[in-house]
A and B are shown apart, each in its own frame.
Chain A
Amino acid sequence: MNRRRSIIPGFGISMGITITILSIVVLIPLCSLVVFSAKLSFSEFVYTVTRPRVLSGYFVSISTAFIASIVNVIMGLILAWILVRYDFKGKRFIDGIIELPFALPTAVAGISLTHLTTTNGWVGQIFYNLFGIQIAYTRIGITVALIFIGIPFVVRSVQPVLEKIDIQYEEAAFILGADAKTTFRKVIFPEILPAIISGFTLAFARSIGEYGSVVFIAGNTPYETEIAPLLIMSELQEYDYSAATSIALVMLGISVVILSVNAIVQARVSKRVNGLA
């Protein structure tokens, strides 16, 4: 076979390094999860991960993450649209600040959000006095923290795709007589839909596992505002490693499912655009 020279030398070495790094950061921790959980028998495992308190933990985590990700899709789309399509003062500043949730230690975010949204906080007292809504120490509070955590995923997924959309598509639709609504729905939306889905799934997967920013604002009342990652933490504090890893394994399974759904959707969509269907 006629091998072409690549700029990165040695397929063998590069592949070796790739596998090593993947093993260290991904495979070994994941395997240890399975190994620790395997100390339990299957029925013990099922019992551990289906205790009512644990089930309610999954439910709290998934439902708040889902709502937060939906909100993020809408807000992130608007943000990305404004950053791409308009020029205004302070655009670069806003563009830069989008990544703040990535950079800020999640605990700091959690504490400051809690502080703001308690019934005495700046924002919290407005909502409490006007609408009688409590934010901090409720599921609403958890959702708020998850919105904060997830917003960059959506913006950074949609923004580059939106930038690449040729203005000619809109002009073509305009000359053919389509109004703004139809143009967005039929021409622009299909273009950005894959990015929206990928932004949503990334934000969703991240939110389900979010711990640092949520524990402060959640209040951690069992069956009410206790998230699944917190249950793992409390099992660990009781030195029940196998219970902790069992719950973690379920969380891992959920993440894998979410990311697989995303991968399948992306593959379907790119088939159309790249002509492999």
Chain B
Amino acid sequence: MGYVELHDINKHFKKFHASKDINISIEKGKLVALLGPSGSGKTTILRMIAGLEQPDSGEILIDGKVVNNTPGSERGIGFVFQNYALFRYMTVYDNIAFGLRVKKIPEEEIRDRVRELLELINCEGLEKRFPSQLSGGQRQRVAFARALAPNPQILLLDEPFAAIDAKVRLELRTWLREMITKLNITSIFVTHDQDEAIEVADEIIVTNLGKVEQSGTPQELYKNPATPFVAQFIGHSVEVRNYEKFKHFNKQGENSIAYLRPEFVSIFKKGESVQFANSAEEAIVEDTIFRGSNIEIRVRIHGNLISAIRSINEPEIRVGELVDVFIYRLYVVDGENVVLATNDSITDEDVVI
């Protein structure tokens, strides 16, 4: 039995069917990501859990109790908004204290709680500032503290990193993950960035077109995509229609197509690989893209432009060079089924995924 459960939830906005038969179960203490492209209904799910939207049908349970008719403020949740929604005319202190003051908690207790939270978010000394005088990262942390102040059981975060610049975002991801683990609070966050979901979440719920496609740990999603959407959505997949032409792969169904991710492909300079020399494809390099920490190399095989990542420590590969391309595995989608096809020439015991 999950701590937060959604049973057969449906939600329409006028004629738009935003949530279709949503069934979700989230365990206590887990950090869960709702991942999907924009318009896939992930924010709607979050807002329904928060009580900001009412489902048309279905039940929302928190800690075993149906909360459909409980106002959001009594569901024991904290909510961090996408743009933080910090009250502009209140100081950091007053923002964090807001949820406690409306509950008529004595002012001394509020002072202690706010101090404790400021310490938690490393923002001591900022209590007299206004939100406009904070950096993006500080604002997010204050929003986090404000949501936590009334001691919620569940923390909901709507695109928590969307409004922050790339470098700070990486720091905050780690910070948020540590913070949530430390507090052991059940947390659900919405994101469209799969790197973020994979790095931060214990469990990912993938949504598409108002439906839940799959939920599971990041490894499960990578290893066993349940639906064609997940197979092509997770990772930077390239669609391959004539995969049976690749060496050591067999056709698995009349209209099946395959998805190939860069991490499934290795590219070697001629003579570099001894192990895969006979099972590799020969190809000409069409493009190389320097990515700072690595190099993306694009080659064309049987008409498909395929990407692979190469370390910057390996010998340089140039455009136009003839290389060996070894494909470890790919996802074959046949109708609604997804199968992981492995290169016949290897046994899969020595690979992580």
Contact = CB atoms under 8 A, between A and B. Distances in A.
B290 interface: no
Interface string A73-99: 000000000000000000000000000
Contacts of A275: 130, 132-133
A175 B130 contact: no
Given A168-B85, A272-B88, A176 B73 contact: yes
Given A172-B81, A177-B150, A272 B130 contact: yes
Q: With a 10 A CB-CB cut-off, give which of A168, A172, A179 has the most chain B CB atoms.
A: A172
A238 interface: no
A272 B89 contact: yes
Contact of A172 (B79, B130, B132): B79
Contacts of A166: 83, 85
A199 to B, nearest CB: 18
B102 interface: yes
A65 to B, nearest CB: 29
Interface of A: 166, 168-169, 171-179, 182, 186-187, 190-191, 272-275, 277
Contact of B89 (A171, A175, A176, A191): A191
Contact of A277 (B102, B103, B130): B130
A179 B72 CA distance: 12
Nearest to A193: B89
Given A186-B98, A187-B87, A274-B132, 10 more contacts: A168-B83, A171-B79, A176-B149, A182-B102, A186-B87, A186-B90, A190-B88, A191-B88, A272-B88, A275-B133
B325 interface: no
B52 interface: yes
Which 10 residue pairs spanning A and B have beta carbons closest together? A275-B132, A176-B99, A190-B89, A168-B85, A177-B73, A172-B85, A275-B133, A178-B102, A175-B79, A168-B81
B297 interface: no
Interface of B: 50-52, 71-74, 77-79, 81-83, 85, 87-90, 98-99, 102-103, 130, 132-133, 146, 149-150
5 contacts: A171-B52, A171-B79, A172-B79, A179-B102, A273-B130
A170 B146 CA distance: 14
B189 to A, nearest CB: 15
Contacts of B90: 186, 190
A277 B133 contact: yes
A276 to B, nearest CB: 8
B102 A175 contact: no
B132 A175 contact: no
Nearest to B75: A175
A273 B90 CA distance: 10
If over half of A's interface residues share one DSSP class (helix, strand or loop), that class is named, otherwise mixed; here it is: helix
A232 B98 CA distance: 54
Contacts, number: 73
Contacts of B82: 168
Nearest to A179: B102
Nearest to A178: B102
Given A174-B72, A175-B50, A175-B73, A272 B85 contact: no
Contact of A273 (B77, B85, B89, B149): B89
A190 B90 CA distance: 9
A171 B130 contact: no
B294 to A, nearest CB: 39
A177 B77 CA distance: 10
A41 to B, nearest CB: 51
Contacts of B83: 166, 168
A272 B74 CA distance: 32
Contacts of B51: 175
Contacts of A168: 81-83, 85
Contacts of B52: 171, 174-175
A186 B78 CA distance: 19
A173 B98 CA distance: 8
Nearest to A165: B88
A127 to B, nearest CB: 41
Contacts of B102: 176-179, 182
B77 A175 contact: yes
Contact of B73 (A174, A190, A274): A174
Contact of B150 (A172, A176, A191, A272): A176
A102 B302 CA distance: 73
Nearest to B100: A176
B81 A177 contact: no
Nearest to B47: A171
A178 B98 contact: yes
A239 to B, nearest CB: 54
Contacts of A172: 79, 81, 85, 87, 146
A274 B89 CA distance: 11
A175 B72 contact: yes
A112 B102 CA distance: 50
A31 to B, nearest CB: 41
B93 to A, nearest CB: 14
B45 to A, nearest CB: 16
A17 to B, nearest CB: 35
A171 B73 contact: no
Nearest to A187: B87
Contacts of B133: 275, 277
Q: With a 10 A CB-CB cut-off, give which of B74, B78, B102, B133 has the most chain A CB atoms.
A: B102
Contacts of A274: 132
B135 to A, nearest CB: 11
